[in-house]
Structure 1
Amino acid sequence: MGCDGGTIPRRDELVRVKKKPEQKDKEAELAFRWKHCAIRQLPLQSPVVACGLGRLYSKESVIEGLLDRTMLPDTAKHIKSVKDVKDLNLTDNPAYEGPKAEKGDCYVDGGRSPYICPVIGLEMNGKYKFCFLWSCGCVMSERSLREVKTKVCHKCQQPFDETDIVIMNAEGEDLEQMEQRSAMRKLQRKAQKKRVHNVEKTEAEGSVEAGEGKSKKKIKKEESEGPTKSSQKNSAEDPAYKKSKDSYSVAKDPRATEVFKSLFTSHKSASEQTRAHWVTYNPFYN
Protein backbone atom coordinates (compact mmCIF):
# COMPACT_ATOMS: atom_id res chain seq x y z
CA MET A 1 0.00 0.00 0.00
CA GLY A 2 3.03 2.25 0.16
CA CYS A 3 2.77 2.81 3.88
CA ASP A 4 6.39 2.45 4.80
CA GLY A 5 7.41 2.16 8.38
CA GLY A 6 4.46 0.00 9.42
CA THR A 7 1.95 2.90 9.72
CA ILE A 8 -1.76 2.07 9.63
CA PRO A 9 -3.82 4.81 7.90
CA ARG A 10 -7.24 5.78 9.15
CA ARG A 11 -10.34 5.89 7.01
CA ASP A 12 -10.63 9.70 7.04
CA GLU A 13 -7.10 9.86 5.68
CA LEU A 14 -7.92 7.65 2.70
CA VAL A 15 -11.56 8.66 2.00
CA ARG A 16 -12.84 12.14 1.54
CA VAL A 17 -15.75 12.74 3.87
CA LYS A 18 -18.36 15.53 3.73
CA LYS A 19 -17.41 18.44 5.89
CA LYS A 20 -19.78 19.34 8.69
CA PRO A 21 -21.48 22.72 8.36
CA GLU A 22 -19.97 25.50 10.33
CA GLN A 23 -21.56 25.77 13.74
CA LYS A 24 -22.72 29.10 15.10
CA ASP A 25 -21.10 30.44 18.19
CA LYS A 26 -24.07 30.38 20.56
CA GLU A 27 -22.43 32.65 23.10
CA ALA A 28 -21.62 35.27 20.46
CA GLU A 29 -25.15 35.03 19.03
CA LEU A 30 -26.66 35.40 22.50
CA ALA A 31 -24.49 38.41 23.31
CA PHE A 32 -25.49 39.97 19.98
CA ARG A 33 -29.21 39.67 20.78
CA TRP A 34 -28.76 41.45 24.11
CA LYS A 35 -26.80 44.37 22.69
CA HIS A 36 -28.41 44.96 19.28
CA CYS A 37 -31.80 46.03 17.99
CA ALA A 38 -33.94 43.16 16.67
CA ILE A 39 -35.08 45.28 13.69
CA ARG A 40 -32.01 47.11 12.45
CA GLN A 41 -29.41 44.67 13.83
CA LEU A 42 -27.48 47.74 15.05
CA PRO A 43 -26.31 48.49 18.62
CA LEU A 44 -29.16 49.49 20.91
CA GLN A 45 -29.71 53.22 21.28
CA SER A 46 -31.56 54.91 24.10
CA PRO A 47 -34.50 54.89 24.63
CA VAL A 48 -34.67 51.09 24.57
CA VAL A 49 -38.04 49.35 24.31
CA ALA A 50 -39.21 45.73 24.38
CA CYS A 51 -42.24 43.90 23.01
CA GLY A 52 -44.48 41.41 24.77
CA LEU A 53 -42.21 38.56 23.63
CA GLY A 54 -39.17 40.11 25.32
CA ARG A 55 -37.25 41.20 22.20
CA LEU A 56 -35.20 44.39 22.47
CA TYR A 57 -35.49 47.33 20.08
CA SER A 58 -34.35 50.91 19.70
CA LYS A 59 -37.50 53.01 19.93
CA GLU A 60 -36.49 55.01 16.87
CA SER A 61 -36.40 51.88 14.71
CA VAL A 62 -39.83 50.79 16.01
CA ILE A 63 -41.40 54.13 15.07
CA GLU A 64 -39.79 54.03 11.62
CA GLY A 65 -41.03 50.47 11.16
CA LEU A 66 -44.60 51.47 12.08
CA LEU A 67 -44.48 54.31 9.55
CA ASP A 68 -43.08 52.03 6.86
CA ARG A 69 -44.29 48.45 7.42
CA THR A 70 -41.86 47.10 4.84
CA MET A 71 -38.98 47.84 7.22
CA LEU A 72 -40.31 45.46 9.88
CA PRO A 73 -38.91 41.92 9.70
CA ASP A 74 -41.10 38.86 10.19
CA THR A 75 -40.01 38.64 13.83
CA ALA A 76 -41.54 42.06 14.52
CA LYS A 77 -44.82 41.76 12.56
CA HIS A 78 -46.72 41.39 15.84
CA ILE A 79 -46.01 45.06 16.66
CA LYS A 80 -49.08 46.93 15.39
CA SER A 81 -48.73 50.17 17.35
CA VAL A 82 -46.62 51.88 19.99
CA LYS A 83 -48.86 50.30 22.66
CA ASP A 84 -47.37 46.90 21.77
CA VAL A 85 -43.94 47.94 23.12
CA LYS A 86 -42.86 49.16 26.54
CA ASP A 87 -40.18 51.70 27.45
CA LEU A 88 -37.58 49.97 29.62
CA ASN A 89 -36.32 51.45 32.88
CA LEU A 90 -32.74 50.15 32.79
CA THR A 91 -30.06 50.39 35.50
CA ASP A 92 -26.63 51.54 34.25
CA ASN A 93 -23.56 49.45 35.00
CA PRO A 94 -20.94 51.65 36.75
CA ALA A 95 -18.13 49.28 35.65
CA TYR A 96 -18.99 49.56 31.97
CA GLU A 97 -16.54 51.81 30.10
CA GLY A 98 -18.28 51.84 26.75
CA PRO A 99 -17.45 50.12 23.47
CA LYS A 100 -13.75 49.91 22.64
CA ALA A 101 -11.88 48.93 19.50
CA GLU A 102 -10.46 45.41 19.68
CA LYS A 103 -6.67 45.30 19.59
CA GLY A 104 -4.41 42.32 19.20
CA ASP A 105 -2.30 43.13 22.25
CA CYS A 106 -5.09 43.45 24.81
CA TYR A 107 -7.96 41.45 26.24
CA VAL A 108 -11.50 42.60 25.44
CA ASP A 109 -14.21 41.36 27.79
CA GLY A 110 -17.17 40.70 25.50
CA GLY A 111 -19.40 39.74 28.43
CA ARG A 112 -19.37 43.23 29.91
CA SER A 113 -22.83 44.78 29.71
CA PRO A 114 -23.92 48.42 30.02
CA TYR A 115 -26.85 47.42 32.26
CA ILE A 116 -27.17 45.43 35.48
CA CYS A 117 -29.86 44.13 37.81
CA PRO A 118 -30.71 46.84 40.39
CA VAL A 119 -31.33 44.23 43.12
CA ILE A 120 -28.39 41.80 43.05
CA GLY A 121 -26.07 43.46 40.51
CA LEU A 122 -25.98 40.75 37.81
CA GLU A 123 -24.91 41.99 34.38
CA MET A 124 -27.49 41.84 31.60
CA ASN A 125 -25.29 40.02 29.08
CA GLY A 126 -27.39 36.94 28.27
CA LYS A 127 -25.75 34.58 30.75
CA TYR A 128 -28.58 35.10 33.24
CA LYS A 129 -32.31 35.33 32.75
CA PHE A 130 -33.61 38.88 32.86
CA CYS A 131 -37.18 40.12 32.77
CA PHE A 132 -39.11 43.36 32.94
CA LEU A 133 -42.48 44.33 34.35
CA TRP A 134 -45.04 45.47 31.80
CA SER A 135 -46.79 47.67 34.36
CA CYS A 136 -43.76 49.94 34.99
CA GLY A 137 -41.01 48.83 32.57
CA CYS A 138 -38.38 48.19 35.26
CA VAL A 139 -35.75 45.58 34.27
CA MET A 140 -34.27 43.11 36.78
CA SER A 141 -32.95 39.58 36.92
CA GLU A 142 -35.35 36.67 37.08
CA ARG A 143 -33.45 35.37 40.12
CA SER A 144 -34.28 38.51 42.12
CA LEU A 145 -38.00 38.09 41.44
CA ARG A 146 -37.86 34.39 42.29
CA GLU A 147 -35.91 34.73 45.53
CA VAL A 148 -37.48 37.94 46.83
CA LYS A 149 -41.16 37.16 46.41
CA THR A 150 -43.28 40.28 46.40
CA LYS A 151 -46.17 41.90 44.56
CA VAL A 152 -44.53 45.31 44.18
CA CYS A 153 -41.61 46.30 41.96
CA HIS A 154 -38.19 46.21 43.67
CA LYS A 155 -37.20 49.46 41.97
CA CYS A 156 -40.26 51.74 41.82
CA GLN A 157 -42.60 50.01 44.32
CA GLN A 158 -45.44 49.79 41.80
CA PRO A 159 -47.75 46.76 42.20
CA PHE A 160 -47.82 44.06 39.51
CA ASP A 161 -49.26 40.61 38.88
CA GLU A 162 -48.02 37.43 37.22
CA THR A 163 -49.10 38.48 33.71
CA ASP A 164 -46.91 41.62 33.91
CA ILE A 165 -43.65 39.59 34.04
CA VAL A 166 -42.00 39.40 30.59
CA ILE A 167 -38.86 37.28 30.15
CA MET A 168 -36.41 39.05 27.84
CA ASN A 169 -35.16 37.21 24.72
CA ALA A 170 -37.28 34.21 25.68
CA GLU A 171 -36.87 30.86 23.91
CA GLY A 172 -38.68 27.53 23.86
CA GLU A 173 -41.29 27.13 26.59
CA ASP A 174 -40.61 30.63 27.91
CA LEU A 175 -41.47 32.07 24.48
CA GLU A 176 -44.77 30.20 24.38
CA GLN A 177 -45.59 31.45 27.86
CA MET A 178 -44.79 35.04 26.84
CA GLU A 179 -47.11 34.72 23.82
CA GLN A 180 -49.94 33.62 26.11
CA ARG A 181 -49.31 36.46 28.56
CA SER A 182 -49.17 38.99 25.73
CA ALA A 183 -52.56 37.78 24.45
CA MET A 184 -53.99 38.02 27.99
CA ARG A 185 -52.74 41.60 28.39
CA LYS A 186 -54.36 42.58 25.08
CA LEU A 187 -57.67 41.11 26.21
CA GLN A 188 -57.42 42.91 29.55
CA ARG A 189 -56.64 46.19 27.77
CA LYS A 190 -59.68 45.80 25.49
CA ALA A 191 -61.90 44.93 28.46
CA GLN A 192 -60.63 47.95 30.41
CA LYS A 193 -61.25 50.22 27.44
CA LYS A 194 -64.76 48.81 27.06
CA ARG A 195 -65.50 49.34 30.77
CA VAL A 196 -64.34 52.95 30.61
CA HIS A 197 -66.48 53.53 27.51
CA ASN A 198 -69.53 52.01 29.20
CA VAL A 199 -69.02 54.13 32.33
CA GLU A 200 -68.72 57.32 30.25
CA LYS A 201 -71.81 56.35 28.26
CA THR A 202 -73.79 55.62 31.42
CA GLU A 203 -72.78 58.96 32.97
CA ALA A 204 -73.75 60.82 29.80
CA GLU A 205 -77.13 59.07 29.63
CA GLY A 206 -77.70 59.74 33.33
CA SER A 207 -77.03 63.45 32.91
CA VAL A 208 -79.38 63.63 29.91
CA GLU A 209 -82.12 61.74 31.76
CA ALA A 210 -81.66 63.99 34.79
CA GLY A 211 -82.05 67.07 32.60
CA GLU A 212 -85.12 65.62 30.91
CA GLY A 213 -86.57 64.65 34.27
CA LYS A 214 -86.16 68.21 35.59
CA SER A 215 -87.78 69.68 32.48
CA LYS A 216 -90.68 67.20 32.68
CA LYS A 217 -91.21 68.00 36.37
CA LYS A 218 -91.22 71.69 35.56
CA ILE A 219 -93.78 71.21 32.78
CA LYS A 220 -96.01 69.08 35.00
CA LYS A 221 -95.80 71.65 37.77
CA GLU A 222 -96.80 74.45 35.42
CA GLU A 223 -99.67 72.38 34.03
CA SER A 224 -100.94 71.56 37.52
CA GLU A 225 -100.65 75.14 38.80
CA GLY A 226 -102.07 76.71 35.64
CA PRO A 227 -100.71 79.92 34.15
CA THR A 228 -98.45 81.59 36.67
CA LYS A 229 -98.03 85.27 37.24
CA SER A 230 -94.79 85.32 35.34
CA SER A 231 -96.30 83.58 32.32
CA GLN A 232 -99.33 85.89 32.47
CA LYS A 233 -97.05 88.89 32.73
CA ASN A 234 -94.93 87.73 29.83
CA SER A 235 -97.98 87.06 27.69
CA ALA A 236 -99.44 90.44 28.65
CA GLU A 237 -96.24 92.22 27.73
CA ASP A 238 -95.97 90.40 24.40
CA PRO A 239 -97.24 92.76 21.59
CA ALA A 240 -98.25 89.79 19.44
CA TYR A 241 -100.38 88.50 22.30
CA LYS A 242 -101.98 91.89 22.80
CA LYS A 243 -102.75 92.37 19.12
CA SER A 244 -104.42 88.98 18.92
CA LYS A 245 -106.98 90.02 21.52
CA ASP A 246 -110.30 91.53 20.29
CA SER A 247 -110.09 94.42 22.74
CA TYR A 248 -106.72 95.58 21.44
CA SER A 249 -106.56 99.19 20.28
CA VAL A 250 -103.65 101.15 18.86
CA ALA A 251 -104.84 104.26 20.66
CA LYS A 252 -104.49 102.47 24.01
CA ASP A 253 -101.15 100.89 23.25
CA PRO A 254 -98.56 102.58 25.54
CA ARG A 255 -95.70 101.51 23.28
CA ALA A 256 -97.08 103.16 20.14
CA THR A 257 -95.96 106.71 19.35
CA GLU A 258 -98.30 109.59 18.64
CA VAL A 259 -97.13 109.74 15.03
CA PHE A 260 -98.03 106.12 14.54
CA LYS A 261 -101.40 106.57 16.28
CA SER A 262 -102.29 109.52 14.09
CA LEU A 263 -102.34 107.22 11.07
CA PHE A 264 -105.57 105.61 12.32
CA THR A 265 -109.09 107.06 12.46
CA SER A 266 -109.39 106.17 16.11
CA HIS A 267 -106.92 108.88 17.02
CA LYS A 268 -108.19 112.23 18.32
CA SER A 269 -106.60 114.05 15.41
CA ALA A 270 -108.90 112.24 12.97
CA SER A 271 -111.74 114.66 13.76
CA GLU A 272 -109.66 117.57 12.51
CA GLN A 273 -108.87 116.02 9.12
CA THR A 274 -110.60 117.55 6.11
CA ARG A 275 -109.09 115.28 3.46
CA ALA A 276 -107.61 111.85 3.10
CA HIS A 277 -104.48 111.09 5.01
CA TRP A 278 -101.23 111.16 3.08
CA VAL A 279 -100.38 107.61 4.14
CA THR A 280 -103.73 105.86 4.49
CA TYR A 281 -106.66 106.41 2.20
CA ASN A 282 -109.97 107.21 3.89
CA PRO A 283 -112.77 107.73 1.37
CA PHE A 284 -114.87 109.38 4.03
CA TYR A 285 -112.96 112.63 3.57
CA ASN A 286 -113.11 112.76 -0.26
Structure 2
Amino acid sequence: MGCDGGTIPRRNELVKVKQKPETKDHTSHLIFQWRYCNLSQQLLQRPIVTCGLGKLYNKSAIIEAMINKESLPNHIKTLKDVLDLNLTRNPEFREDAIMRIEISPYICPVTGLEMSGKFRFVALWSCGCVFAERALKNVEMKACPKCQKCFDKSDILELNPDFSAEETMKERMEVRKRRKKSAKRVIKKK
Protein backbone atom coordinates (compact mmCIF):
# COMPACT_ATOMS: atom_id res chain seq x y z
CA MET A 1 0.00 0.00 0.00
CA GLY A 2 3.00 2.29 0.34
CA CYS A 3 4.62 4.14 3.21
CA ASP A 4 5.11 0.87 5.07
CA GLY A 5 8.78 1.51 5.51
CA GLY A 6 9.99 -0.13 2.34
CA THR A 7 9.09 2.48 -0.26
CA ILE A 8 9.93 6.10 -0.78
CA PRO A 9 7.32 7.88 -2.92
CA ARG A 10 8.49 10.27 -5.62
CA ARG A 11 7.03 13.72 -6.19
CA ASN A 12 5.12 12.74 -9.36
CA GLU A 13 3.39 9.96 -7.41
CA LEU A 14 2.16 12.35 -4.71
CA VAL A 15 1.47 15.58 -6.63
CA LYS A 16 -0.67 15.72 -9.76
CA VAL A 17 1.07 17.91 -12.32
CA LYS A 18 -0.65 19.40 -15.35
CA GLN A 19 0.32 17.29 -18.36
CA LYS A 20 1.81 19.00 -21.39
CA PRO A 21 -0.30 18.53 -24.52
CA GLU A 22 1.03 16.00 -26.95
CA THR A 23 2.60 17.66 -29.98
CA LYS A 24 2.32 16.42 -33.53
CA ASP A 25 5.41 15.16 -35.25
CA HIS A 26 5.81 17.61 -38.13
CA THR A 27 7.70 15.14 -40.34
CA SER A 28 5.05 12.43 -40.09
CA HIS A 29 2.33 15.02 -40.76
CA LEU A 30 4.10 16.10 -43.97
CA ILE A 31 4.54 12.49 -45.06
CA PHE A 32 0.83 11.83 -44.59
CA GLN A 33 -0.18 15.00 -46.46
CA TRP A 34 2.03 14.39 -49.47
CA ARG A 35 1.98 10.59 -49.77
CA TYR A 36 -1.50 9.50 -48.69
CA CYS A 37 -5.00 10.10 -50.05
CA ASN A 38 -7.05 12.55 -47.95
CA LEU A 39 -10.21 10.49 -48.49
CA SER A 40 -9.18 6.85 -48.19
CA GLN A 41 -5.90 7.31 -46.22
CA GLN A 42 -4.21 4.89 -48.62
CA LEU A 43 -0.92 5.48 -50.38
CA LEU A 44 -1.27 7.84 -53.36
CA GLN A 45 -1.25 5.98 -56.66
CA ARG A 46 -1.63 7.30 -60.17
CA PRO A 47 -3.92 8.83 -61.31
CA ILE A 48 -3.69 11.43 -58.56
CA VAL A 49 -6.20 14.28 -58.47
CA THR A 50 -6.60 17.46 -56.46
CA CYS A 51 -9.68 19.42 -55.46
CA GLY A 52 -10.14 23.18 -55.64
CA LEU A 53 -8.66 23.50 -52.16
CA GLY A 54 -5.41 21.71 -53.06
CA LYS A 55 -5.93 18.40 -51.20
CA LEU A 56 -4.52 15.27 -52.87
CA TYR A 57 -6.69 12.21 -53.60
CA ASN A 58 -6.53 8.92 -55.45
CA LYS A 59 -8.92 9.21 -58.37
CA SER A 60 -10.14 5.67 -57.70
CA ALA A 61 -11.08 6.65 -54.12
CA ILE A 62 -13.14 9.60 -55.39
CA ILE A 63 -14.93 7.42 -57.96
CA GLU A 64 -15.64 4.68 -55.40
CA ALA A 65 -17.06 7.23 -52.96
CA MET A 66 -19.33 8.62 -55.70
CA ILE A 67 -20.55 5.16 -56.74
CA ASN A 68 -21.14 3.97 -53.16
CA LYS A 69 -22.71 7.33 -52.24
CA GLU A 70 -20.25 7.73 -49.39
CA SER A 71 -19.47 11.07 -47.88
CA LEU A 72 -17.29 13.32 -50.00
CA PRO A 73 -15.97 16.77 -49.08
CA ASN A 74 -18.69 19.41 -49.60
CA HIS A 75 -16.93 21.10 -52.51
CA ILE A 76 -16.62 17.88 -54.58
CA LYS A 77 -19.85 16.91 -56.32
CA THR A 78 -18.66 15.47 -59.66
CA LEU A 79 -15.37 14.54 -61.32
CA LYS A 80 -15.36 18.00 -62.90
CA ASP A 81 -14.60 19.41 -59.43
CA VAL A 82 -11.23 17.63 -59.32
CA LEU A 83 -8.16 18.01 -61.51
CA ASP A 84 -5.95 15.20 -62.82
CA LEU A 85 -2.37 16.06 -61.92
CA ASN A 86 0.43 15.78 -64.44
CA LEU A 87 3.29 14.80 -62.09
CA THR A 88 6.95 14.28 -62.93
CA ARG A 89 8.46 11.09 -61.49
CA ASN A 90 11.60 11.31 -59.39
CA PRO A 91 14.30 9.14 -61.05
CA GLU A 92 15.90 8.44 -57.64
CA PHE A 93 12.69 7.05 -56.12
CA ARG A 94 12.23 3.28 -56.08
CA GLU A 95 8.94 1.53 -55.34
CA ASP A 96 10.62 -1.09 -53.14
CA ALA A 97 12.02 1.65 -50.86
CA ILE A 98 8.60 3.20 -50.25
CA MET A 99 9.17 3.62 -46.53
CA ARG A 100 12.25 5.77 -47.06
CA ILE A 101 10.88 9.17 -46.21
CA GLU A 102 13.78 11.26 -47.45
CA ILE A 103 13.11 10.54 -51.15
CA SER A 104 9.85 11.76 -52.64
CA PRO A 105 8.20 9.95 -55.59
CA TYR A 106 7.66 13.21 -57.54
CA ILE A 107 9.76 16.28 -58.36
CA CYS A 108 9.39 19.67 -60.01
CA PRO A 109 10.38 19.38 -63.70
CA VAL A 110 11.89 22.89 -63.73
CA THR A 111 13.86 23.11 -60.48
CA GLY A 112 14.25 19.44 -59.57
CA LEU A 113 12.93 20.03 -56.02
CA GLU A 114 11.25 17.04 -54.39
CA MET A 115 7.51 17.19 -53.69
CA SER A 116 7.79 16.27 -50.01
CA GLY A 117 6.28 19.24 -48.18
CA LYS A 118 9.53 21.05 -47.53
CA PHE A 119 8.80 23.37 -50.44
CA ARG A 120 5.50 24.77 -51.68
CA PHE A 121 4.12 23.18 -54.82
CA VAL A 122 1.42 24.48 -57.14
CA ALA A 123 -0.70 22.97 -59.88
CA LEU A 124 -2.10 24.80 -62.88
CA TRP A 125 -5.86 24.29 -63.16
CA SER A 126 -5.75 24.83 -66.94
CA CYS A 127 -3.44 21.86 -67.65
CA GLY A 128 -2.77 19.96 -64.40
CA CYS A 129 1.01 20.35 -64.49
CA VAL A 130 2.71 20.53 -61.08
CA PHE A 131 5.67 22.78 -60.23
CA ALA A 132 7.52 24.15 -57.24
CA GLU A 133 6.12 27.57 -56.42
CA ARG A 134 9.54 29.17 -56.77
CA ALA A 135 9.79 27.90 -60.37
CA LEU A 136 6.72 29.90 -61.40
CA LYS A 137 7.81 32.96 -59.40
CA ASN A 138 11.31 32.99 -60.90
CA VAL A 139 10.19 32.41 -64.47
CA GLU A 140 7.20 34.85 -64.53
CA MET A 141 5.52 33.17 -67.50
CA LYS A 142 1.94 33.27 -68.78
CA ALA A 143 2.27 29.81 -70.34
CA CYS A 144 2.99 26.51 -68.63
CA PRO A 145 6.73 25.69 -68.83
CA LYS A 146 5.96 22.01 -69.37
CA CYS A 147 3.07 21.91 -71.89
CA GLN A 148 2.91 25.58 -73.07
CA LYS A 149 -0.81 26.07 -72.24
CA CYS A 150 -1.77 29.60 -71.24
CA PHE A 151 -2.87 30.30 -67.66
CA ASP A 152 -3.69 33.26 -65.43
CA LYS A 153 -3.26 33.91 -61.72
CA SER A 154 -6.60 32.34 -60.73
CA ASP A 155 -5.49 29.04 -62.34
CA ILE A 156 -2.64 28.63 -59.85
CA LEU A 157 -3.63 26.13 -57.18
CA GLU A 158 -1.40 25.61 -54.12
CA LEU A 159 -1.14 21.95 -53.15
CA ASN A 160 -1.69 21.09 -49.48
CA PRO A 161 -1.90 24.73 -48.36
CA ASP A 162 -1.63 25.82 -44.75
CA PHE A 163 -4.69 27.17 -42.95
CA SER A 164 -3.87 30.80 -43.73
CA ALA A 165 -4.02 30.17 -47.50
CA GLU A 166 -7.38 28.32 -47.45
CA GLU A 167 -9.41 31.54 -47.83
CA THR A 168 -7.56 32.57 -50.98
CA MET A 169 -7.97 29.02 -52.31
CA LYS A 170 -11.75 29.21 -51.75
CA GLU A 171 -11.90 32.59 -53.50
CA ARG A 172 -9.95 31.30 -56.51
CA MET A 173 -12.20 28.22 -56.67
CA GLU A 174 -15.26 30.50 -56.80
CA VAL A 175 -13.66 32.66 -59.51
CA ARG A 176 -13.00 29.55 -61.64
CA LYS A 177 -16.61 28.36 -61.19
CA ARG A 178 -18.03 31.78 -62.16
CA ARG A 179 -15.74 31.95 -65.20
CA LYS A 180 -16.83 28.46 -66.27
CA LYS A 181 -20.54 29.38 -65.91
CA SER A 182 -20.11 32.58 -67.91
CA ALA A 183 -18.31 30.65 -70.67
CA LYS A 184 -21.23 28.20 -70.81
CA ARG A 185 -23.71 31.08 -71.14
CA VAL A 186 -21.75 32.55 -74.05
CA ILE A 187 -21.72 29.18 -75.83
CA LYS A 188 -25.48 28.70 -75.31
CA LYS A 189 -26.27 32.16 -76.74
CA LYS A 190 -24.42 31.37 -79.97
Report the Cα offset of residue 174 of structure 1.
Answer: 1.4
Report the Cα offset of residue 101 of structure 1.
Answer: 7.2
In the alignment, the residues of structure 2 paired with residue 40 and residue 101 of structure 1 have an alpha-carbon distance, to the nearest angstrom, of: 18
1:52–1:179 contact (8 Å) kept in structure 2: yes
1:96 maps to 93
In the alignment, the residues of structure 1 paired with residue 186 and residue 148 of structure 2 have an alpha-carbon distance, to the nearest angstrom, of: 27
The 1:69–1:133 alpha-carbon spacing in structure 2 relative to 1, beyond 3 Å, is same
1:134–1:166 contact (8 Å) kept in structure 2: yes
TM-score normalized by the length of structure 2: 0.89
2:19 maps to 19
Query: 1:184-233 CA deviation, whole Å, 9 max, x = no partner?
Result: 0001111101110011xxxxxxxxxxxxxxxxxxxxxxxxxxxxxxxxxx
Query: 1:133-174 CA deviation, whole Å, 9 max, x = no partner?
Result: 000000000010111111010101111000000000012231
In the alignment, the residues of structure 1 paired with residue 98 and residue 180 of structure 2 have an alpha-carbon distance, to the nearest angstrom, of: 46
SS of equivalent residue, structure 2 residue 157:
strand
1:77 maps to 74
1:34–1:56 contact (8 Å) kept in structure 2: yes
2:176 maps to 185
1:149 maps to 140
> What does residue range 88-237 of structure 1 map to in structure 2 within 5 Å?
88-100=85-97, 109-199=100-190
Aligned Cα root-mean-square deviation (Å) = 1.8
1:48–1:56 contact (8 Å) kept in structure 2: yes
In the alignment, the residues of structure 1 paired with residue 97 and residue 141 of structure 2 have an alpha-carbon distance, to the nearest angstrom, of: 39
In the alignment, the residues of structure 2 paired with residue 125 and residue 83 of structure 1 have an alpha-carbon distance, to the nearest angstrom, of: 27
Note if 1:65 corresponds to 2:56: no
Larger Rg: 1
Number of corresponding residues = 181
TM-score normalized by the length of structure 1: 0.60
**Percentage of identical aligned residues:** 48
The 1:22–1:64 alpha-carbon spacing in structure 2 relative to 1, beyond 3 Å, is same
Query: Which runs of 5 or more residues in structure 1 are unaligned?
Result: 1-9, 103-108, 200-286
Amino acid of the structure 2 residue aligned with 1:180: E
Report the Cα offset of residue 24 of structure 1.
Answer: 1.3
The runs of at least 4 aligned residues of structure 1 exceeding 4 Å deviation read: 10-14
The 1:128–1:151 alpha-carbon spacing in structure 2 relative to 1, beyond 3 Å, is same
Whose relative contact order is higher, 1 or 2, with alpha carbons under 8 Å and at least 6 apart?
A: 2
In the alignment, the residues of structure 2 paired with residue 35 and residue 99 of structure 1 have an alpha-carbon distance, to the nearest angstrom, of: 15
Amino acid of the structure 2 residue aligned with 1:122: L
1:241 maps to none
In the alignment, the residues of structure 2 paired with residue 142 and residue 96 of structure 1 have an alpha-carbon distance, to the nearest angstrom, of: 22
2:48 maps to 48
Report the Cα offset of residue 131 of structure 1.
Answer: 0.5
Amino acid of the structure 1 residue aligned with 2:146: K
In the alignment, the residues of structure 1 paired with residue 141 and residue 135 of structure 2 have an alpha-carbon distance, to the nearest angstrom, of: 10
> What does residue range 239-258 of structure 1 map to in structure 2 within 5 Å?
none
In the alignment, the residues of structure 1 paired with residue 52 and residue 133 of structure 2 have an alpha-carbon distance, to the nearest angstrom, of: 16
Report the Cα offset of residue 30 of structure 1.
Answer: 1.4
Judging by fraction of residues, say which structure has more helix.
Answer: 1
The 1:101–1:168 alpha-carbon spacing in structure 2 relative to 1, beyond 3 Å, is closer
Report the Cα offset of residue 12 of structure 1.
Answer: 6.1
In the alignment, the residues of structure 1 paired with residue 115 and residue 148 of structure 2 have an alpha-carbon distance, to the nearest angstrom, of: 21
1:31–1:111 contact (8 Å) kept in structure 2: no
